[in-house]
Amino acid sequence: MSNVAYTPKEAPATVAKPGRVLICRNGECKLSLKFGIYFDGTGNNLYLDDRADGGYSHSNVARLYKAALKEPINGLNAIYVPGVGTPFKEIGEAVPHEYGGSMGAMGSERIRYAVLSIVNRVAYALTKTFIVADADIPKALKDEANYRSWNRRLTSLVAQSAQRRNAPRIEEIVLDVFGFSRGATEARSFLNQLLKHFSPNGRSFCGVPLRIRFLGLFDTVASVGPADSFPGFFDGHFAWGNRDLLVIPPQVEQCVHFVAGHEGRNSFPVDLVLGKDGRYPSNCIEVVYPGMHSDVGGGYGAGDQGKGGRERGEVLSQIALNDMYERALKAGVALRSREKLAEARLEEDFAISSDLRAHYDHYVRSVALEGKSLPAIRQYQRHLHQYLHWRRSVLDEKAFSRMDCMKHISAQDRINLVQANDQFRHYIQKLQQDERVDMQNQALRATDRPMPVQPVDSTGLNFYRRYWQGLDRIQSRGGQTVLDFFDRYVHDSRAGFTIVDPLSYYDHKKIHDRLKERDAAYRQALVEYEKYRSQAPAQWMDPGGSSQHGPRMPPTDPLTPLERRKLGIYDRTPDAEKTKRYLEVPLASDEAPGTFDDGDVSVSDVVAAISRRREMAWSYLHPRQHFAYSRLPF
């Protein structure tokens, strides 16, 4: 075992010796009951990620689920679990939980849903009845204590079936599990909870032999509860994201984890699959890919931020998707073959353009020249150096505007990218000033009569010296083609992560409903005022002719001109409630963040006032935090 992660080109096709358990009787191997479990990422939902332009932005987990063979009669089951922060009616979440996207609320229910789905389908195979009826599932998922009763009842059914002649018998249960982002955390937590509550010996599930054949993970992010970006001791490993629940169980025959080599947001630390001893278990392969979080796990649509083109095959996440697909196929996961993908009209979901492949291969070769397989953090640092070389080349406002992606970009994406780059340029200028101030401070400390020193951003200054100033000493390989790779294919996750803006249909609906309510009240007041105006002025006078009170003033419009424009934009989608999406939404900017429209006074308003719309005290210079049971130092 070692602590070395792989580059995409060097990663072996499989672990050295994948474990395998064959259940055979009288020389005949029976068919097994197979379950593919697909945990989608935060904010990702197969049924909601269709776009207004007719395209879609499904994650790689959703695409793999679409490619899965779903033949329950032949023992092939596929279970899809939508990401936290999205609706999931089957668990009683018709509207996304308020803290689903920010803290992973309802993640526990999703994990229990996956467990119960297996329990129910095994029970149905034996008795044609479920342990828990559909109508009772939301309530049953609320309490972890229900694991005990599910286990007891299913174990009893399995034992009874084994004792009856000609009764159905399940020779083996095989699990193949996939996850992205918090969905990858759910996948890891799911396996540990399942083994703890249903398989004390790690070899059976309620009396049925168990195999955990494949675990495919895209860029695991926990951030369960207060994330690592919160002040204080918080690190996002609470409840179902507890560190012990993220350890890869030895019962897993093969675990493959793809890590984003360019992700840098403070709220998205990655949990590697290294063991507690700092080395990779023999059943794990970890591969570091170029790109941001969703450049590896998927979720960007074709043309988002002007990247790639208008075809699905030009989106960077297609590379990791196809690599995972091939690894899963070789492991025996029940997925459609390439030929069957075409028959099911899914070939576009897995397409890779020749231009994307050429740029990607060139970039990977360029990074490999600086050092091949290294520990994940060392690989991340090499990717960061390349990325910062590119960011420095477009830091100037004019250079940024000349990028290829700026020619094919939406209005909102343009605002986000330009303002994020402006913010970074001003931050670099501040750090350059801090560098001069710090040198003055050091000189003052060396004098016999120290004088008060000026404060500087010590953390930012450390990263500035380590990564930005060091760019001149580090040769950037690959030339213009590498710069073009970032311009054309690598998204800007920080620019798009506007934490104070509405993100989902439900966020926008809240704002829309508030504007409609205030507008309706205003229109009703206008009706009453017009009725009042139509009354005879004599009604304002007493019998003697003296005025009791003056005429009533017309109602004042409670909406500002900007709010009126936003209401008009929302109203252009008449069937938003039915389609669960708006054809157009109002633009947000650092000067007019979306959080100011929801009518609530919240932490988001404070963040918007202090740090505009992005993570506070963070920048492209700050490296991503890596965890491997504990916090890993840089």
Mean pLDDT of 430-440: 91
Q: What is the pLDDT of residue 595?
A: 79
Nearest to 176 by CA among 16, 332, 19: 332
What count of Cα atoms within 13 Å lies in the side-chain half-sphere of residue 85?
21
- CB-hemisphere CA count at 13 Å for 474? 22
For residues 268-291, give the mean pLDDT: 96
pTM as predicted: 0.92
- Of residues 246, 259, 254, the one with CA closest to residue 378: 259
Tokens 């740029």, located at residue: 359
pLDDT of residue 470: 80
Mean residue pLDDT of the chain comes to 90
Q: Is 515 exposed, middle or buried (0-12, 13-18, 19+ CB in 10 A)?
A: buried
pLDDT at 543 over 70: no
> Rounded CA gap, 222 and 219, in Å?
10
In the chain, the percentage of residues whose pLDDT exceeds 90 is: 70
pLDDT at 406 over 80: yes
**294, burial (CB in 10 Å: exposed 0-12, middle 13-18, buried 19+):** buried
How sure is the predictor about 503, in pLDDT bands with cuts at 50, 70 and 90?
Answer: confident
pLDDT surpassing 90 at residue 6 = no
Give the pLDDT confidence score for residue 24 in this predicted structure. 44
CB count, 10 Å around CB of 145? Answer: 7
Does 65 have pLDDT greater than 90? yes
Would you call 567 helix, strand, or coil by DSSP? Answer: helix
416-434 mean pLDDT: 96
In which band, very low, low, confident or very high, does the pLDDT at 66 lie, cut at 50, 70 and 90? very high
Give the three-class secondary structure for 30: coil
Query: Average pLDDT, stretch 53-59?
Result: 69
DSSP letters spanning 221-257: ---BSS-TTSSSS--SB-GGG-GGGGSPPTTBS-EEE
Using pLDDT thresholds of 50, 70 and 90, give the confidence band for residue 163.
confident
| φ/ψ of residue 149, rounded to 5 | -70, -35
Report the alpha-carbon angle 627-629-631, nearest 5. Answer: 40
Which has more pLDDT, 329 or 451? Answer: 329
Query: What are the two backbone dihedrals, phi and then psi, of residue 480, each rounded to the nearest 5 degrees?
Result: -65, -30
Report domain extents, the chain.
505-587
In this model, does residue 222 exceed pLDDT 50?
A: yes
- For the cut 70, the answer to whether the pLDDT of residue 548 exceeds it is no
Q: How far is CA 87 from CA 81, 110, 220, 262, 455, in A?
A: 10, 11, 21, 30, 46
Residue percentage of the chain with pLDDT more than 70: 90
> Among 248-262, 272-286, 406-420, 497-511, which stretch is predicted with the lowest mean pLDDT?
497-511
User: What are the CA-CA distances from residue 26 to residues 29, 30, 159 (Å)?
Assistant: 8, 10, 21
Q: In terms of pLDDT, which residue wins out, 550 or 633?
A: 633
State residue 445's pLDDT score: 76
The Cα 630–Cα 98 span in angstroms is 29
Mean pLDDT score, 269-275: 97
pLDDT the model gives residue 100: 94
- Mean pLDDT, range 513-522, rounded to an integer: 96
Helices (DSSP H) in 128-235: which residue ranges?
Answer: 137-140, 146-163, 182-198
pLDDT computed for residue 29 by the predictor:
37
